[in-house]
């Protein structure tokens, strides 16, 4: 029995990728081998034309549609959880931009069945007013933040908007910027990290930089905002703004480890010494700025989110060690720390 049709636009990251691999990366898709069978059964189209082979290559701008089978055990809708607070920064009848608190998972997972952001969204909007392209266990979710990453993210209220926002991400025109405090002195003012990322072969909970053919391209740029002198027992710290051009799992954390500047407080990829982590038990990673053109209205949505108290407190604790802010830091740092920051603007596009 076949169920819903899901679609995705091929962005720069996936240009030239094999069709079965691309289909397997789409929302709510089964395994790659199962996706290959769907292609063979004629259940996959490229630009409304039936795909011929699992090995054909997709191209930038192609729209791939897949008719997915109904899950054998749907498990039923999520339990609405109105007790989870939603810090909504912008909302209309098509989408929501909110600031996710640290410690909140985006969708149900083992150990978090009724206490996810998805449960809160169902309580706030109802299933009938959330995009379900990612499946009924991920209503409204357009992109994820790790459980212990805080800050701005976008949610969709219908399938059409969810698809349009995912297309903006694939085409790299939904601008997402993160604040990250890392170990050590980062000398360059700016830099770009481009690698493949795949699941680690040693620890399935981790991702890793990889040149394996199955890895996916990941691009992160960074701008140094402020540097802090080394102390007696550490090598100093650097505050960066990172800009994601791709959205791989744990991308910033993996890339910072790759350049030997692990994220402060990162329990998975970082340094386990509490003293070096300045008392943090979660990664110093915050989605502070987001900008995109509203797919329906054409308005430019631009929102900023100051650092939460635990992260701003860490910066305050090492402020006397500051070596000075860069030109970019002189612009951004007052915004992320100021109590009077305007959290967002909406402008006609």
For the stretch 37-48, pLDDT in tens is: 899 888 999 999
CATH number belonging to domain 2-69: 3.10.290.10
pLDDT greater at residue 129 or residue 204: 129
What is the signed CA dihedral for 172, 260, 241, 8, rounded to 10 degrees?
Answer: 20
Distance (Å, rounded) from C-alpha 54 to C-alpha 46? 12
- Cα separation, 164 vs 156, whole angstroms: 9
Q: How far apart are CA 280 and CA 267, in angstroms?
A: 10
Q: Are 82 and 123 in contact (CB under 8 A)?
A: yes
**H or E segment to which residue 22 belongs:** helix 19-25
| DSSP conformation letters of 288-349 | EEEEEE-TTT-PEEEEE-PPPHHHHHHHHHTGGGEEEE-HHHHHHHHHHH-TT---EEEE--
Q: If you average pLDDT over residues 149-177, what whole number do you get?
A: 94
Query: What residues are paired with 241 via a beta bridge?
Result: 179, 223
φ, ψ dihedrals at 6, nearest 5°: -115, 145
What are the tens digits of pLDDT across the range 58-103? Answer: 999 999 999 877 654 443 478 899 999 999 999 999 999 999 999 9
What burial class does residue 289 get, using C-beta atoms within 10 Å of its C-beta: 0-12 exposed, 13-18 middle, 19+ buried?
buried
pLDDT value of position 114: 87
pLDDT tens, position by position, 219-277: 999 999 999 999 888 999 999 999 998 888 899 999 999 999 999 999 999 987 788 99
CATH top class, domain 87-170: alpha beta
Q: For residue 272, give every residue at least 6 positions away whose Cβ sits within 8 Å of its Cβ, in sequence order, or none.
A: none
Beta bridge partners of 226: 239, 325
Give residue 348's Cα distance to chain centre: 26
Domain ranges of the chain: 2-69, 87-170, 175-347
**pTM of full prediction above 0.85:** no
pLDDT-wise least confident of 87-91, 107-111, 119-123: 107-111
Q: What is the pLDDT of residue 338?
A: 62
Predicted local confidence at residue 349, as pLDDT:
41
CATH superfamily of 175-347: Pseudouridine synthase (3.30.2350.10)
pLDDT at position 75 is 38
Q: What rounded mean pLDDT belongs to the chain?
A: 89
Is it true that 2-69 and 87-170 share their CATH fold? no
Residue with the bigger pLDDT between 286 and 274: it is 286
**Looking at the predicted structure, is the pLDDT value of residue 111 above 90?**
no
What is the spatial distance between Cα 9 and Cα 63, in angstroms, rounded to a whole number?
Answer: 5
User: Is residue 175 among the annotated active site residues?
Assistant: no
Most confident of 7-16, 77-86, 175-184: 175-184
At residue 27, the 3 state secondary structure works out as coil
Residue 3 pLDDT class (50, 70, 90 cuts): low
What average pLDDT score do residues 265-294 get?
Answer: 92
- What is the bridge-based pairing of β-strands 285-293 and 150-156? parallel
From the list 13, 146, 158, 234, the catalytic residue is 146
Q: Are 149 and 287 in contact (CB under 8 A)?
A: yes
Is residue 177 a contact partner of residue 237, using CB atoms and an 8 Å limit?
Answer: no
Least confident of 97-106, 184-193, 270-279: 270-279
- The residue behind tokens 């692990």 is 262
């Amino acid at each position: 029995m076949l169920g819903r049709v899901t679609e995705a636009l091929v962005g720069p990251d996936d240009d030239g990728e094999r069709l079965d691999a691309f289909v397997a990366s789409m929302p709510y898709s089964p395994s790659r081998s199962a996706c290959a069978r769907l292609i063979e059964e004629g259940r996959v189209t490229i630009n409304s034309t039936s795909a011929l082979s699992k090995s054909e290559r997709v191209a930038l701008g192609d729209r791939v549609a897949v008719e997915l089978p109904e899950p054998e055990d749907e498990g039923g809708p999520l339990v609405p959880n109105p007790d989870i607070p939603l810090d909504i920064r912008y909302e209309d009848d098509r989408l929501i931009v909110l600031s996710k608190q640290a410690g909140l998972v985006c969708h149900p997972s083992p150990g978090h069945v009724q206490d996810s952001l998805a449960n809160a969204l169902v309580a706030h909007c109802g299933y009938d007013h959330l995009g379900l392209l990612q499946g009924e266990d991920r209503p409204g979710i357009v992109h994820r933040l790790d459980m212990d990453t805080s800050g701005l993210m976008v949610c969709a209220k219908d399938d059409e908007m969810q698809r349009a926002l995912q297309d903006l991400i694939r085409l790299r025109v939904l601008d997402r910027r993160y604040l990250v405090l890392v170990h050590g002195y980062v000398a360059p003012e700016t830099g770009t990290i481009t690698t493949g990322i795949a699941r680690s072969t040693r620890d399935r909970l981790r991702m890793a930089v990889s040149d394996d053919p199955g890895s996916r391209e990941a691009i992160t740029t960074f701008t140094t905002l402020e540097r802090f002198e080394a102390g007696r027992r550490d090598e100093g710290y650097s505050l960066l703004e990172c800009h994601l051009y791709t959205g791989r799992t744990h991308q910033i954390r993996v890339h910072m480890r790759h350049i030997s500047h692990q994220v402060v407080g990162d329990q998975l990829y970082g340094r386990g010494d509490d003293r070096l982590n300045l008392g943090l038990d979660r990664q110093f990673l915050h989605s502070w700025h987001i900008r995109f053109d509203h797919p329906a209205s054409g308005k430019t949505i631009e929102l900023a989110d100051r650092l939460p108290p635990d992260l701003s407190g860490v910066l305050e604790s090492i402020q006397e060690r500051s070596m000075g802010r860069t030109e970019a830091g002189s612009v951004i740092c007052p915004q992320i720390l100021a109590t009077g920051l305007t959290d967002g603007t909406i402008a006609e596009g």
